[in-house]
Amino acid sequence: MVIGLKYGKVNQEDNEARDVTYKKIKEFSYNFTSINNSINCKELLGIDLATPEGQAIFKENDLSNKKCTNYVKDACIILDKMGL
C-alpha cells in the first residue's frame, strides 16, 4: 500500500507511474523474500488463516506477536531503505 500511495497511478492513462510502481514492488518483494524466504502469509506463518483451524493456531500460538511483528518491522526497514 505504501508503494502504491507514493508511486501509483493518479489517472488511468498514467502508464509510467504504473511501471515505476511495479518496479518498486518487485524491489520490495525481492528484499523481503531475501530476509524471510517468502512474501506469502501462509508460507511465512506455516498455517492457512483462511481456515478456522489456522485461525485457532494463530491465536493459540500468539503468532501476531511472535512472527507478524517481525515481518512488519522488516517491511518498514526495507521501505525506509527505499526512501519511503
Cα-based distances in Å from 33 to 4, 11, 29, 69, 74: 19, 31, 6, 16, 10
Tally of domains within the chain: 1
* pLDDT surpassing 90 at residue 15: no
* pLDDT surpassing 90 at residue 11: no
The pLDDT of residue 13? 84
Cα-based distances in Å from 53 to 49, 56, 60, 64: 8, 5, 10, 16
Instruction: Specify the pTM.
Output: 0.88
pLDDT, tens only, 47-60:
999 999 999 999 99
* pLDDT surpassing 90 at residue 67: yes
What is the C-alpha to C-alpha distance for residues 76 and 80, in angstroms, rounded to an integer? Answer: 6
Q: Structural domain of residue 45, as residue ranges?
A: 2-81
Q: Which long-range contacts (CB under 8 A, 24 or more apart) does 67-73 make?
A: 71/36, 71/44
* pLDDT surpassing 90 at residue 10: no
* pLDDT surpassing 90 at residue 9: no
